[in-house]
Structure 1
C-alpha cells in the first residue's frame, strides 16, 4: 500500500488470501465413510431435500416487510421505499421475491453461504437484489479488514464487488470468521453414511435383490468344468433382471448364500435411523418431512409448532439481521427495519387464528380494525376502539368494599 493510500485508507484490489468455496467443498466435505459427501448429492437425499424445501419454502412464503418506526413504539409498513418492493414483490425484474428468497435460503442450507448483488439508485436506496450462486463467488479479506467479493459466472466473466455491494448470508461462522459452514459439512459423517446406504440399496435393486452365494461341489473340478458351471449359472440368474425360473442343481451340488438379506442385516431400520439423524441436523421435526412411524394426532400438532419455534424463527432472525446490516445504512436503521411476519404461519389454522384474535380483543390489545387488517379486510367505522375488562383495575385503585373490612 502506498503512502497516500495509507493516509486516506483506500481499499486496494490486490491479491489477498482467499476463501474459495469450491476448494472448501473439495477439502472440507471428505468423510471417513465410503461415500464422498458432495453437497449436491447430499441435498438430493429424500429427507434432506424435504428439510431444505420445508425451511426455504415456508420462509419464502412468509411476508418480509420493511417497517418504519413510529411514535409510542408503533410501526408502519414503509411501502414508499424501493426496498419494500424488492423484499415483498419483485427481487429484480426477472425474479419474484418468493423465488429469490427461496434461492438464498437453499444456498444457505446447502453451501453455508448465500450471496446477492445489491443494486441501488442515485439516492443510495436499494432497488433490487440479484442472487449469485455460492460456487461462483470468492471472498477475500482486505488489509483494511473489509471484505472483497469476486464473482465468476459460467462464461468466465469476473466482476469484483466490495462489501457494501453484496448481501452475504452465513449459516454458521467458520474458523476464519468470514465464511459460513453448511450443515452438510458440519454433519458430513452422517451424510456419508446415508449416501453409502443409498448406494448399497441401488446396487441391490440393480441385482433384483439377489444375494451373493457359492456353489459347493462334493468333488474337485477341473478349471474348465468350474468355469462352465459358473457361466451356465450366471447366464440363468444374471442374464435377465426378471428371473422367475427354477434352478436344478444335480450331482450333489449345494448353493450356499454368502451375503445377508436386507431384513437380516436390519438395513431398512438402519436407513430409518439415518433419516431421523438428517432431520435432526436441520432441526426439522420428523413428522414434518414424512417420518410418521410414531406419529399421533397430538405430537403432529406439537411438532408443527416446534417447527416454527425451533427451526423457522431462528433462521428468520438470522436472515433479518443480515438484511438490516447489508441493505440499510446506520442512519436508516434508526427509523427503518426489516422483519418477517411469522403470524402468517397460523393462517392455515382458522380456529387457532380466530381464538388468538378473540383473546387479543377481549383483553384490550387488539382493535377490530387491527384484526381486520390481519385478515386483509377493509377498516370499518368505529373499529379503532379497544376493550378493557371490567374486573381489571390498576393496583392500588381497587374501590373499597362497601360492607367494610372483614372482621
Structure 2
C-alpha cells in the first residue's frame, strides 16, 4: 500500500529502507520522504537557469533595454559633428542585416552577453563600406591567439579580430576565455531551482506534508486498515475540495515534513531575487522586487540603472564598434547611443529639460523639435540660439531700459491742467 506515493507494507520494503538498521538516516531515500529528492543540487545550464523567474527577468530586461536605445553614426566636422547618412548609417541605426532589424539584432547580442557571457558579431565589408552586421553564436566560436593577434573560427571559417565585434561579460586572465553570469552564479541559481522544485513537488501533492498516523493497534492489519482509510479520506477531500476529512477513532495525524513557512522558504525565495539582482548588478526594483521600495529610493535606483549599469555596457559596445568599424586611428567617424531615449517615458521631465536647453542657449528651437521628431519651424528665428535678456557678463551692469514716452531726463513729464 502507498501513502502519498510511499510504500508502507513491510513486504515491499527494500534493503535501502529507512527501517533497515544498517542504513543511516542521512541516506538520500530517507531525505526523499521529507520532500528532498536528492542531496545533490541540480545541474545548472543556461536553459535551466532561465526557468528561474529572477534570472529570466534580469536577462530580458537588460537585453531589451539596451536594444531599445537608438544608435547613430556621426562624422566630425570643423566646428561640430553631423549625423551620417547612407549605407553605414542604415546598418547601425535601422537594419544590421537583411533578416534582422536593429532591435532584434541587439536583443540577441545582449542575451548572449547576459547568459553565456559573450556577444559576437561579424562585420561584412565592401571595401570601406559597411554592408552588414551578422550575429555569431559564441558557443560555436573558438578564439585563437597568435602572438598579439586574435582570430575567431566560426562555421569552419576564420575571421580576423578586426572584423569581429566582441563584448565579453568578464574576461579571464588569458584575455581570450570568458566567464558568464550564469556560470559564476551557479550556487545561487542551484538554490533557486531547488526551492522551485521543492515548492512544485509540495503543492503537486495538494499541499499535504508527509504525515504520521499515531494511535492504538500499531501491529497487524489494524494499522494498515487505518492507513488505507486516511489515504482514501485525503484523496476524497482533494477531489471534493473539502477542508475536513475523518480520522479513524483513537488515532491522530501529525505532520513530519518540513514546513515551508517555518523553514523560511518564502523569505529565502525573496532573498534569492536580491542575490540574483547582484549578479547582473541590477537594482532589485527592476526585477519587480518592491519589498524595500519607496518613492524616493525607486527614483534613485532608476538613476543608478543608467549611470552605473546601462551607461557602462553602452560604453563597452561603442568602444568596440568604433575600433572595429572605423579603425584605430580614424577619429572622424564614431558611433554613439542616445541615452536620452531612456527618459521618453517621463514626458514632463523631458519637456522641462528641453525648455531649459532652449532658454540657456544650448539648443535652438528647431534642434529641440528634432529631438521629439517634430518638423522644423519655418521662422528663421527657430534656428537661432536664445537666451534670457537679463543674463549679462559678471561685473557688468545691465543696459539702461529705454525711456518711456513722456519721460524727460529720466523724470516723468506731469501734465498739469
TM range (shorter): 0.7 to 0.9
* 2:85 match: 79
Query: Counterpart of 1:120 in 2: which secondary structure?
Result: strand
* 2:350 equivalent among 337, 349, 353: 353
Structure 1: how far apart are the matches of 2:257 and 2:124? Answer: 60
* 2:61 match: 54
Q: Deviations over 1:81-137 (max 9, x none)?
A: x3221111111101111100110011100111011122111x132211111222222
2:137 paired with 1:138: no
Structure 2: how far apart are the matches of 1:368 and 1:273? Answer: 49
* 2:104 equivalent among 99, 102, 109: 99
Compared with structure 1, are the counterparts of its residues 112 and 229 closer, same or farther at alpha carbon in structure 2 (3 Å cutoff)? same
* 1:15 match: none
2:73 paired with 1:66: yes
Instruction: Give yes or no for contact 1:113–1:170 (8 Å, CA) kept in 2.
Output: yes
Structure 2: how far apart are the matches of 1:86 and 1:130? Answer: 11
Instruction: Give yes or no for contact 2:116–2:180 (8 Å, CA) kept in 1.
Output: yes
Structure 1: how far apart are the matches of 2:293 and 2:53? Answer: 19
- The size of the alignment, in residue pairs, is 359
Compared with structure 1, are the counterparts of its residues 286 and 242 closer, same or farther at alpha carbon in structure 2 (3 Å cutoff)? farther
Compared with structure 1, are the counterparts of its residues 354 and 259 closer, same or farther at alpha carbon in structure 2 (3 Å cutoff)? same
* 1:205 match: 203
Equivalent runs, 1:356-395 vs 2, <5 Å:
356-380=353-377, 381-395=380-394
Instruction: Give yes or no for contact 1:116–1:131 (8 Å, CA) kept in 2.
Output: yes
* 1:18 match: none
Instruction: Give yes or no for contact 1:207–1:241 (8 Å, CA) kept in 2.
Output: no
Compared with structure 1, are the counterparts of its residues 401 and 391 closer, same or farther at alpha carbon in structure 2 (3 Å cutoff)? closer
* 2:93 match: 88
CA displacement at 1:353 relative to structure 2 = 0.8
Quick check: which has more Rg, 1 or 2? 2
Structure 2: how far apart are the matches of 1:202 and 1:139? Answer: 42
CA displacement at 1:360 relative to structure 2 = 1.3
Moved over 6 A (4+): none
Equivalent runs, 1:190-201 vs 2, <5 Å:
190-201=188-199
Instruction: Give yes or no for contact 1:173–1:181 (8 Å, CA) kept in 2.
Output: yes
Structure 2: how far apart are the matches of 1:393 and 1:401? Answer: 9
Instruction: Give yes or no for contact 2:226–2:248 (8 Å, CA) kept in 1.
Output: no
Compared with structure 1, are the counterparts of its residues 328 and 216 closer, same or farther at alpha carbon in structure 2 (3 Å cutoff)? same
TM-score in terms of structure 2 length: 0.78
TM-score in terms of structure 1 length: 0.80
Root-mean-square deviation over aligned CA pairs: 2.7
Query: Counterpart of 2:289 in 1: which secondary structure?
Result: coil
Structure 2: how far apart are the matches of 1:341 and 1:46? Answer: 30
CA displacement at 1:391 relative to structure 2 = 4.3
Q: Which deviates more from structure 2 when the two are superposed, residues 374-383 or residues 341-350? A: 374-383
Greater RCO structure (CA 8 Å; 6+ sep): 1
Instruction: Give yes or no for contact 2:230–2:247 (8 Å, CA) kept in 1.
Output: no
* 1:148 match: 151
Structure 1: how far apart are the matches of 2:66 and 2:174? Answer: 28
* 1:274 match: 272
Equivalent runs, 1:246-325 vs 2, <5 Å:
246-250=244-248, 252-325=250-323
* 1:338 match: 335
Query: Counterpart of 1:279 in 2: which secondary structure?
Result: helix
Structure 1: how far apart are the matches of 2:283 and 2:107? Answer: 20
Instruction: Give yes or no for contact 2:185–2:279 (8 Å, CA) kept in 1.
Output: yes
CA displacement at 1:195 relative to structure 2 = 1.4
Equivalent runs, 1:162-173 vs 2, <5 Å:
162-173=160-171
Gaps of 5+ in 2: 1-38, 401-417
Instruction: Give yes or no for contact 1:104–1:131 (8 Å, CA) kept in 2.
Output: yes
CA displacement at 1:33 relative to structure 2 = 7.2
Q: Deviations over 1:130-156 (max 9, x none)?
A: 1122222222222x332222224xxxx
Compared with structure 1, are the counterparts of its residues 244 and 386 closer, same or farther at alpha carbon in structure 2 (3 Å cutoff)? closer
CA displacement at 1:259 relative to structure 2 = 1.5
Instruction: Give yes or no for contact 2:119–2:168 (8 Å, CA) kept in 1.
Output: yes
Gaps of 5+ in 1: 1-31, 153-157, 403-407
* 2:44 equivalent among 37, 45, 54: 37
CA displacement at 1:160 relative to structure 2 = 2.7
Structure 2: how far apart are the matches of 1:297 and 1:77? Answer: 38
Instruction: Give yes or no for contact 1:169–1:319 (8 Å, CA) kept in 2.
Output: yes
* 1:126 equivalent among 125, 130, 133: 130
